[in-house]
């Protein structure tokens, strides 16, 4: 498959959920309603949320359990064979990546980061969370932000952006900064408003109802600071054809005119097109829209769908599991696997036992670290290394179908090097 793949399709969601819990079906937001009518499934979903309820007791629980929004998105996407790979959270800011199962063994060097900008960098009620990764020979960074609010605090938003660029750093020197990546997508409640006070909220509402969006967009603060080079000048944005996304009355499609309506919720992108000799990278955006039928927040969610050019000829190093006939309950079990290409085990690597149709990397039943306990090298074939890893007799406790996943974990870096074929677990026949 990798030899034929030229593009990856990526779907982005940004939504300030205003501390509410999920109520409405998420299928339309994820563009899954017409999936049986030859609609192409996205290869990756990045879902960025702001103002997810973040009371202290919730934050403690979220260390161990998914927040309700992440769980709701996962419940929808798992029906289409997506796996949640990572979640990065900073108080009310949440960023999730979901990947079609067929691609997960091509994910490498996944790393998360965050920057606080609230209260001069002391508090995480505002700031940024990000996920960067390598896949099919390219790398990308996705940033979800919630910047300083209010019409008159434009200067603070500019400072927020530049603080995030300065403070955000990653492990690989070649992609140590956000803008060093092949592809950058910057989403979130950026909180830019309409410049000046010459238009009242009521006048803006009238212009929107007359579909005179161009008049309003000429006063958009984000476009102004991009043109002046003060912030976001390194990124691009497709034309906006949807109404302002804030502020709405709850449970309504009408503006709450206590605030001047504005386009606070945005999706921007950047491509470093000429970084490789063998191919010119490119982004093709298919749509950019808001979803007015979602009424539980005072913001409307915004989505964007993109194709990005990849480099499928770049070979992945990885792990190939040997076939497993079956594992037995209450017995020690083992599996052998072959290290392919330049793959080499490290002390943080682990092999996890998962349900066959797992929908999150957090769903492991048990895991064993590679190189600890009972792992043993097997005489290797030319140009490959084969090892065996053992799981103790408490690992498998119930009958069912299972898979094993080899996860390369090097500090904050994560990669999925291999997934075994499914195999049954049961009691040994008497």
Task: Calculate the average pLDDT of the chain.
Answer: 92
What local confidence, expressed as pLDDT, does residue 429 receive? 86
pLDDT block averages, 10 residues each, the chain of length 430: 76 98 97 76 97 67 76 97 97 97 96 85 74 97 97 96 96 96 98 92 97 97 97 98 98 96 98 95 98 98 98 87 95 93 88 98 95 57 75 96 96 94 93
Pairing of strands 7-16, 44-50: parallel
Give per-residue pLDDT as tens, 271-287. 999 999 989 999 999 99
The answer to whether 143 and 165 are in contact (CB under 8 A) is: no
Tokens standing for residue 158: 């500019």
CATH C-level class of 7-309: alpha beta
Pairing of strands 333-340, 327-328: unpaired
What local confidence, expressed as pLDDT, does residue 3 receive? 47
CATH 2.60.40.2840: which residues of the chain? 319-426
Tokens 């929908």 belong to: 359
Of 239, 233, 237, 204, which is closest to residue 219 (Cα–Cα)?
204
Pairing of strands 93-100, 44-50: antiparallel
The conformation of residue 203, written as its DSSP 8-state character, comes to H
The answer to whether 10 and 98 are in contact (CB under 8 A) is: no
Strand-pair partners of 391: 333
What local confidence, expressed as pLDDT, does residue 37 receive? 61
What local confidence, expressed as pLDDT, does residue 140 receive? 98
Angle (CA) 112-115-118 rounded to 5° is: 145
CB neighbours of 374 closer than 8 A, spacing ≥ 6?
334, 389, 390
CA atoms lying within 13 Å on the CB side of residue 245: 29
Give per-residue pLDDT as tens, 61-86. 545 579 999 999 999 999 999 999 99
The answer to whether 359 and 82 are in contact (CB under 8 A) is: yes
CATH topology classification for 319-426? Immunoglobulin-like (2.60.40)
CATH 3.60.10.10: which residues of the chain? 7-309
Question: How many CB atoms are located within 10 Å of the residue 28 CB?
Answer: 14
* Cβ contacts of 89-92, under 8 Å, gap ≥ 24: 89/52, 89/62, 89/129, 90/114, 90/116, 90/124, 90/127, 90/128, 90/129, 91/54, 91/59, 91/124, 91/125, 92/19, 92/49, 92/50, 92/51, 92/52, 92/53, 92/54, 92/125, 92/146
3-state helix, strand, coil in the chain (%, to 5): 15, 40, 45
What local confidence, expressed as pLDDT, does residue 2 receive? 40
The answer to whether 355 and 400 are in contact (CB under 8 A) is: yes
Pairing of strands 283-290, 265-271: unpaired
Of 273, 90, 271, which is closest to residue 167 (Cα–Cα)?
90
Tokens 């770049």 belong to: 314
Give per-residue pLDDT as tens, 371-384. 764 555 555 555 56
Cα gap 360→344, rounded to integer Å:
25
């Amino acid at each position: 498959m990798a030899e034929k793949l030229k593009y990856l399709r990526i779907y982005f969601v940004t939504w300030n959920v205003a501390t509410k819990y999920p109520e409405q079906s998420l299928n339309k937001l994820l563009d899954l309603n017409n999936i049986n009518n030859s609609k192409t499934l996205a290869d990756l979903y990045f879902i960025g949320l702001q103002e997810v309820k973040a009371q202290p007791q919730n934050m403690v629980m979220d260390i161990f359990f998914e927040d309700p929004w992440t769980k709701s998105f996962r419940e929808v996407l798992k029906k289409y064979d997506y796996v949640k790979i990572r979640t990065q959270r900073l108080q009310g800011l949440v960023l999730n990546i979901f990947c079609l199962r067929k691609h997960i063994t091509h994910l490498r060097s996944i790393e998360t980061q965050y920057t606080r900008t609230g209260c001069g960098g002391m508090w995480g009620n505002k700031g940024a969370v990000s996920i960067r990764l390598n896949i099919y020979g390219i790398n990308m960074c996705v940033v979800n932000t919630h910047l300083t609010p209010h019409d008159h605090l434009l200067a603070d938003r500019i400072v927020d952006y530049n603080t995030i660029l300065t403070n955000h750093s990653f492990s690989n020197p070649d992609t140590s900064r956000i803008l060093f990546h092949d592809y950058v997508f910057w989403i979130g409640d950026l909180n830019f408003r309409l410049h000046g006070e010459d238009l009242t909220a009521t006048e803006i509402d009238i212009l929107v109802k007359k579909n005179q969006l161009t008049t309003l967009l000429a006063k958009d603060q984000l476009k102004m600071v991009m043109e002046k080079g003060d912030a976001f000048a390194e990124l691009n944005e497709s034309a906006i054809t949807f109404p302002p996304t804030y502020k709405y009355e709850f449970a309504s499609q009408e503006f709450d005119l206590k605030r001047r309506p504005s386009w606070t919720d945005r999706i921007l992108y950047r491509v470093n097109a000429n970084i490789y000799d063998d191919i010119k990278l490119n982004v093709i955006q298919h749509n950019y829209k808001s979803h007015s039928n979602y009424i539980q927040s005072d913001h409307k969610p915004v989505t964007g769908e993109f194709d990005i050019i990849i480099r499928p000829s770049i070979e992945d190093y990885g792990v190939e599991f040997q076939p497993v006939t079956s594992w037995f309950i209450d017995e020690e079990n083992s599996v052998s696997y072959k290290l392919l290409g330049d793959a080499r085990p490290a002390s943080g690597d682990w092999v996890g036992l998962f349900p066959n149709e797992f929908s999150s990397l957090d769903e492991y039943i048990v895991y064993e670290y590679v190189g600890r306990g009972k792992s043993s090298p097997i005489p290797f074939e030319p140009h490959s290394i084969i090892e065996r890893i053992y799981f103790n007799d408490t690992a498998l406790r119930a009958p069912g179908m299972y898979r094993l996943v080899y996860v390369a974990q090097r500090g904050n870096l994560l990669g999925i090097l291999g997934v075994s074929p499914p195999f049954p677990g049961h009691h040994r026949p008497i």
